[in-house]
């Protein structure tokens, strides 16, 4: 599908199935105490690893009727938990056979299969919970966002910090002007090297080709990605460091760690993205990168802002923002700083749910604004599933619905495009064009393996 036709094509398709049928009156969260005939029928796609807890949490609010996974060993716990659920290795077959028997779908597969699985669900009118990053490519993020709106389904991306009360309080504090207009955001992560192999340890495909284990269904793992031989270097977790399957540390964690700043500041589309990084190779992600996203002003109180992302080891040291911003605080493993005209907000974790205003002396006696964003209580994962289920039943849209999460994912994944471009790229969000690099437009999407396209 050519990029300029994405919106027109999907709105046309949506009209054919009657989007208006999905409009419903809002229901509060307490409406989850539903009668048995109101319980949602849920399918889980990718039910090992993180997917194991995702489907268990969603299953607390509905009936799990189908499971899908490419690894029979890693899916065993979920299959034991839901013994009556039909089991598949190929989500295409699940939708073909169970399409009329499910209401909602949880997608917790590797990044490269998020969009193909979620899109099939959306086009069948199913509500979707999809793990972060929402998609593998910039193009997929745009198409999923527009399609979810066109088909009228309830959605949520799995950046579960969004559901925490502390996260929502931080958003209120920033929007209330506690630290003044924010012109800089600095975000860092400890992911990549310690968690999975990539450059400089691995820069090429493995030379050997071991047999595919009987419990692994390799063709279904590959999905839309180019054909390549099985190797344990890819599955189960190390796929994150490989460009064909994962999105690197940026894709893995920016939808978490940059999320609070992105929401509080209503950042939207960046206009310019530039990157400094270690040597690029086409197979695995780089050893380190510093990526700068420039966002235009959104209002009089929200001036132009730059967001700087730090990952990896640079010159033998962790790649981190300047200590000048920290006022003596020690940098956490992952975190973010919002630099305002009146002070700095420092959050020392991935979710932005705990924070400190710096310098501390300037904020003695600070009073938080009156809460106005809904509070969910409970744990982040469970609360986020609960909020999504409420949206599926006609309640308010979930906080990380695809209309929001699609823009966040698209913006962050443009950092990987800047690394591949080797030069600053100008982005026109509304038209989805690389203004100064039309020859790189193809980097926004991928060629899908036959049978696995959107």
Q: Which DSSP symbol is given to 161?
A: G
Q: Are residues 388 and 405 in the same domain?
A: no
In whole angstroms, what is the distance from residue 329 CA to residue 38 CA? 50
H or E element in which residue 175 lies: helix 165-175
Angle (deg, nearest 10), helices 402-421 and 248-257 = 140
Q: Judge if 396 and 409 occupy the same domain.
A: no
Q: Are 255 and 134 in contact (CB under 8 A)?
A: yes
pLDDT of amino acid 38: 82
Between CA 51 and CA 58 the distance in angstroms is 10
Strand-pairing partners, residue 182, are 340
**How far are the Cα atoms of 86, 158, 254, 409, 425 from residue 307, in angstroms, in the given order?**
45, 22, 11, 14, 15
Instruction: Report pLDDT for 25.
Output: 31
- Check residue 379 and give its pLDDT: 87
Q: What does 336-401 look like in DSSP terms, one character per residue?
A: EEEEESS-EEEE-STTS-S-EEESGGGGTT--PPPP-S----S-HHHHHHHHHHHHHTT-SPPTT-
116: Cβ contacts below 8 Å, ≥ 6 apart = 91, 223, 224, 448, 452, 453, 454
Parallel, antiparallel, or unpaired: how do β-strands 356-358 and 344-347 relate? antiparallel
CB 292 within 8 A of CB 306: yes
Domain identity same for 122 and 226: no
Q: For the stretch 112-130, what's the b/e string if a residue is b when 16 or more beta carbons lie within 10 angstroms of its beta carbon?
A: bbbbbbbbbbbbbbbbbbb
Pairing mode, if any, of strands 335-340 and 317-318?
A: unpaired
pLDDT at residue number 91: 98
Residues 129 and 274 in one domain: no
> With contact defined as beta carbons under 8 Å apart, do 173 and 253 qualify?
no
Identify whether residues 86 and 173 lie together within a single domain: no
Are 22 and 133 part of one and the same domain? Answer: yes
User: Is residue 238 domain-shared with residue 114, that is, in the same domain?
Assistant: no
Q: How far is CA 390 from CA 38, 134, 355, in A?
A: 12, 20, 28
Quote the CA–CA distance of 301 and 175 in Å, as a whole number. 9
Are 216 and 361 within one domain?
yes
From the CA atom positions of the chain, what is the Rg in Å?
21
422: left (phi over 0), alpha (psi -120 to 50) or beta: left
Burial 342-361 (b: 16+ CB within 10 A, else e): ebbbbbbbbbbbbbebbeee
Whether residue 195 sits in one domain with residue 124: no
pTM: 0.92
Cβ-proximal residues to 111 (8 Å cutoff; 6+ apart), any chain: 133, 135, 136, 239, 240, 245, 246, 247, 251
329 with 358: CB under 8 angstroms? Answer: yes
Do both 71 and 141 map to the same domain? yes
Count how many domains the chain has: 2
Give me the tens of pLDDT residue by residue for the chain, a chain 454 residues long.
Answer: 333 334 433 333 333 322 222 223 333 333 334 334 489 999 999 999 999 999 999 999 999 999 999 999 999 999 999 999 999 999 999 999 999 999 999 999 999 999 999 999 999 999 999 999 999 999 999 999 999 999 999 999 999 999 999 999 999 999 999 999 999 999 999 987 678 999 999 999 999 999 999 999 999 999 999 999 999 999 998 999 999 999 999 999 999 999 999 999 999 999 999 999 999 999 999 999 999 999 999 999 999 999 999 999 999 999 999 999 999 999 999 999 999 999 999 999 899 999 999 999 999 999 999 999 999 998 889 999 999 999 999 999 999 999 999 999 999 999 999 999 999 999 999 999 999 999 999 999 999 999 999 9
| CATH, residue 112 | 3.40.50.720
Owning domain of residue 208: 161-375+401-454
Question: Do 354 and 426 fall into the same domain?
Answer: yes
> Is the same domain home to 318 and 438?
yes
For residue 222, the surrounding DSSP H or E stretch is: helix 218-222
- What CATH number does residue 275 fall under? 3.30.360.10
């Amino acid at each position: 599908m050519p990029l300029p036709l994405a919106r027109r094509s999907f709105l046309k398709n949506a009209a054919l199935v009657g989007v208006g049928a999905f409009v419903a009156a809002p229901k509060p969260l307490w409406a989850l105490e539903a009668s048995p005939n109101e319980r949602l029928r849920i399918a889980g796609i990718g039910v090992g690893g993180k997917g194991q807890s995702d489907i268990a949490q969603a299953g607390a609010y509905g009936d799990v009727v189908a499971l899908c996974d490419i690894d029979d060993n890693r899916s065993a716990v979920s299959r034991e938990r839901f013994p009556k659920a039909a089991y598949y290795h190929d989500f295409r077959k699940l939708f073909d056979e169970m399409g009329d028997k499910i209401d909602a779908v949880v997608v917790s597969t590797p990044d490269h299969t998020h969009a193909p699985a979620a899109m099939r669900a959306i086009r069948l009118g199913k509500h979707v919970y999809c793990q972060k990053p929402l998609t593998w490519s910039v193009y997929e993020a745009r198409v999923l966002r527009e399609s979810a709106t066109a088909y009228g389904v309830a959605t949520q991306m799995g950046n579960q910090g969004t559901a925490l009360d502390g996260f929502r309080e931080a958003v209120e504090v920033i929007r209330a002007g506690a630290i003044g207009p924010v012109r800089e955001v600095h975000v860092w992560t400890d992911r990549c090297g310690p968690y999975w192999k990539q450059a400089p340890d691995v820069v090429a495909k493995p030379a050997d080709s071991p047999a595919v284990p009987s419990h692994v269904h390799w063709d279904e793992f590959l999905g839309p990605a180019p054909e390549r031989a099985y190797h344990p270097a890819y599955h189960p977790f190390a796929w994150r460091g490989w460009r064909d399957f994962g999105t690197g540390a940026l894709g893995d964690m920016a939808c978490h760690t940059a999320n609070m700043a992105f929401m509080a500041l209503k950042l939207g589309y960046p206009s310019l993205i530039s990157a400094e990084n270690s040597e690029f190779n086409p197979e695995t992600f780089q050893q380190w990168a510093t990526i700068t996203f420039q966002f235009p002003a959104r209002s009089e109180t929200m001036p132009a802002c730059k967001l700087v992302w730090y990952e990896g080891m640079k010159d033998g040291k962790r790649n981190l923002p300047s200590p000048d911003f920290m006022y003596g605080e020690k940098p956490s493993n992952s975190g973010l700083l919002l630099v305002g005209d009146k002070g700095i907000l420092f959050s020392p974790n991935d979710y932005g749910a705990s924070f400190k205003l710096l310098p501390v002396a300037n904020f003695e006696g600070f009073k938080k604004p009156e809460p106005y964003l809904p509070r969910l209580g409970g744990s982040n994962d469970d609360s986020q599933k609960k909020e999504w289920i409420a949206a599926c039943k006609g309640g308010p849209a979930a906080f990380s619905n695809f209309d929001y999460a699609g823009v966040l994912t698209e913006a962050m994944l443009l950092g990987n495009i800047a690394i591949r471009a080797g030069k600053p790229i100008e982005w026109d969000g509304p038209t989805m064009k690389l203004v100064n690099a039309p020859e790189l437009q193809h980097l926004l999407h991928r060629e899908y393996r036959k049978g696995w396209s959107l």
